[in-house]
Amino acid sequence: MKDPKTWMKVLDRVFDFKDKVNTSLGRETRREWGRRMIKENWEYLNNLNVLGLKEILNEIHDNSNSGLYRDFMFAFEGRQMECRPLTFEELAHDKLSTLAATNLPSTGFNTVMSGKTDLNLFRSMSPIIETTYYLNSLRPFNWEDMLNLAFSDLERRLVFALDKFDEVEEVPEPTAEFFQKLKETRMTSEQTKELEQKIGLVLMHIGGEILGMGFEDSFEDYWPTMSLFNQFLAGCSAVQYDREEIMDEDIIRAYRTFFKLIKTDVTQYKADPELVRDMDEDNPDYGDVMVCKSCGSYYKLEPGESVDDFESCHCGGELKQVHDERS
């Protein structure tokens, strides 16, 4: 992977200067504070009697020492594309995404306060998968890469198989019922919240130890995305056990999935040829799309048409119009 960017080095110099001042005054430096936070949170986690937690701590230790975690963070910042993005109509070919978009609530005050799983958590999957893909390809995404990222079955594997995503042969078809259950999942146990937060804090401060203090400002998008991704997987785990409450075991399963994913060559997962057969990189087709909340079917609206012109989907489900603002 490439060396830290110039702005990272500048930030490090700034914080090195501040640390020299603090040292001269007998104060704790940022690096010393970060190391203390790692130690305190690590000890807290190490003393918990949570099945599978020791495995997660071992993963954190091994991935940090091997350099994998550092490479993954830089891949998150370094990923880029050399082709156009997919349009809403093209993305509507993916049933998982359309069902999520029409059944999960958008992030708002109510979902934040209730802690329920929402669309923002679902959308954290894409940047994490993109980062893992980039980590294995180490080049800007071309059109074929974009299709593979959007239309392979990897997202479905993660949603329905979690830490067994690379082992299952058949992946279930997504349904509206699954997302209706998923949107009700929430983390209410203070112990579970503390477990999730402490693991995240250990990873964040290890990032500071690897990259130098001040990295939080440069990687401000990485931390919430990683956290949302693991919260989303934990919700998927709860649904599989027919629960609304996210428990400790769901957090462990989520992080086990995350660590397995970042060590996997996800470029092996290819787009379904049937879904991308008519997609042309040079001729994007922008426009509004009507999708069904029940079966995930989609239909491109012609000029002058709107969702009000249709009573329901052929399956009887409710229709929702999605506007492509790029058109």
Structure-derived torsion over alpha carbons of residues 162, 163, 165, 168, reported in degrees to the nearest 10: -110
- Give first-to-last CA distance, the chain, whole Å: 37
Q: pLDDT at residue 20 above 90? A: no
Q: What residue spans define the domains of the chain?
A: 6-283, 286-327
For the chain, the 3-state helix, strand and coil shares in percent, each to the nearest 5, are: 60, 5, 35
- What pLDDT is attached to residue 283? 87
H or E stretch covering 8: helix 6-24
| φ and ψ at residue 132, rounded to 5 degrees | -65, -40
Concatenating the DSSP letter of every residue in 188-252 gives --HHHHHHHHHHHHHHHHHHHHHH-TTHHHHTTTHHHHHHHHHHHHHHHHHHHTT-SB--HHHHH
Q: pLDDT at residue 14 above 50? A: yes
Q: Strands 289-292 and 319-322: what pairing?
A: antiparallel
Sheet with strand 298-300: strands edge to edge: 298-300, 289-292, 319-322
Longest CA–CA separation in the chain, Å? 74
Q: Are 306 and 321 in contact (CB under 8 A)?
A: yes
In this prediction, residues 149-156 reach a mean pLDDT of 98
CA 121 – CA 231 distance, rounded (Å) = 7
| Percent of the chain clearing pLDDT 70 (strictly above) | 87
Q: pLDDT at residue 325 above 90? A: no
90 token code pair: 């093209």
| Percent of the chain clearing pLDDT 90 (strictly above) | 65
pLDDT digits (tens, 9 = 90+) for 21-68: 666 666 777 778 888 999 999 999 999 999 999 999 999 999 999 999
22-36, 111-125, 158-172, 173-187, range with the lowest pLDDT: 22-36
Q: Angle formed by the axes of helices 222-240 and 154-161, to 10°?
A: 60
